[in-house]
Amino acid sequence: MTVISSSKDVATLTLTVVAEFGAPPSRVWGVWEDPRKLSRWWGPPTWPATFTRHEFTPGGESRYHMTGPEGEKARGWWRIEALDKPNRIDFLNGLSGEDGEPVPGTEPMPSCALFEAADSGGTRMTVVTTFVNLKQMETMLEMGMREGMSGAMSQIDDVLTRGAVVADMSVSLDGFVADAKDGVDEVFAWYGKPQPDASGTASPAGTTASELADSEAEAMGVGVIVYGRRTFELANGWNGTHPTGAPVIVVTHSVPDGWPRDGSTVSFVTDGIEAAMRAAAETTGGKVIALGSPSIIGQCLDLGLVDRIQVKLVPVLLGSGIRLFGELSKVPVELDNPVVTEGNGVTHLHYQVRS
């Protein structure tokens, strides 16, 4: 369920948009609190938003821009007036200039978001914008604010249902996932070694990293893995079925000859990474979306989609090859301190990407 009503009231100078979601209020609150989630829905579908600053605390301010179909930008700002988690957010919503700062002489619009338990068992969210005068109301409505808000809020269902996005790769100490000839023997050498179990004790004889990787994928709830075309080719398409058993989405400009195949769990998306991630979200049913190629990880980091980075650090220096992290367009990307797990010939480092 999504937007159920949108109404303007000239007498009270308000625009009210009401939506219902299947998630509880605490989860719906999260799509406002986390700037990565907020960026995925605040702008309408054809004008996606990017939050460059988001201080979700009373008195805190936010800065964002929305990018139109031709690359044009519309900028805005917020100031949080009051928070009553998970019931109500009061904030000022204003227009920004080219420098991203509030436009002098323009009045911000007092706004509030209300979260109530819905009869359906989910959440009813009501967003009320109050205009300072009739002229401002007419101007904003003429600019398409009513349709824009409805379109933006209609995207929240997808944000709520998408599982965590996790980048997960084995990498050498000097940052390479493969050598200069695409060889991966060194970075995957630990796969053939007995590994400690989750408690740190030795695994039963014969239990290798590849077997533990399968159980880790199951435990982490991997619903789909997203790869680039290069990885697909190097892996020979996993013969149609990935070793973990998880469905695979390959991002490519064109579907390779002979694919897709009957009985295969490998599918293809040809219209870009964002379309691939939407397809992944529809596939997972709320499970983890794993990223398995450096190019895919980089693109998702630039889009602000990555929730966690899991590095399997191997004690070897390759000197050159395919880097895990290439040039990123949006830096720095800040990470929390890692959760560290020692293995046999590998150290597992799990980093949460900061909001």
Q: Look at residues 139, 160, 181 and tell me which one is the last residue of a structural domain.
A: 160
d(CA 200, CA 342): 8
Do 199 and 136 belong together in one domain? no
Q: Look at residues 160, 189, 218 and tell me which one is the last residue of a structural domain.
A: 160
User: Is 0.85 surpassed by the pTM of this model?
Assistant: no
Do 134 and 276 belong together in one domain? no
Do 171 and 294 belong together in one domain? yes
- Please give the chain's pLDDT, 355 residues, in tens: 589 999 999 999 999 999 999 888 998 999 999 888 898 899 998 898 989 899 999 999 999 999 898 889 999 999 999 999 999 999 999 999 999 999 998 999 999 999 999 887 899 999 999 999 999 999 999 999 999 999 999 999 888 877 789 999 999 999 999 999 999 999 999 988 888 865 544 444 444 445 555 445 554 578 999 999 999 999 999 999 999 889 999 999 999 999 999 999 999 999 999 899 989 988 877 789 999 999 999 999 988 889 899 999 999 999 999 999 988 988 889 898 999 999 999 999 999 887 6
User: What is the span of the domain harbouring residue 211?
Assistant: 163-352
Long-range contacts of 44-50 (CB under 8 A, 24+ apart): 44/147, 44/148, 44/149, 44/151, 44/152, 45/151, 45/152, 45/155, 47/74, 47/148, 49/152, 50/304
Q: Look at residues 160, 193, 225 and tell me which one is the last residue of a structural domain.
A: 160
From residue 273, give the alpha-carbon distance in Å to each of 12, 24, 66, 149, 324: 43, 30, 19, 25, 18
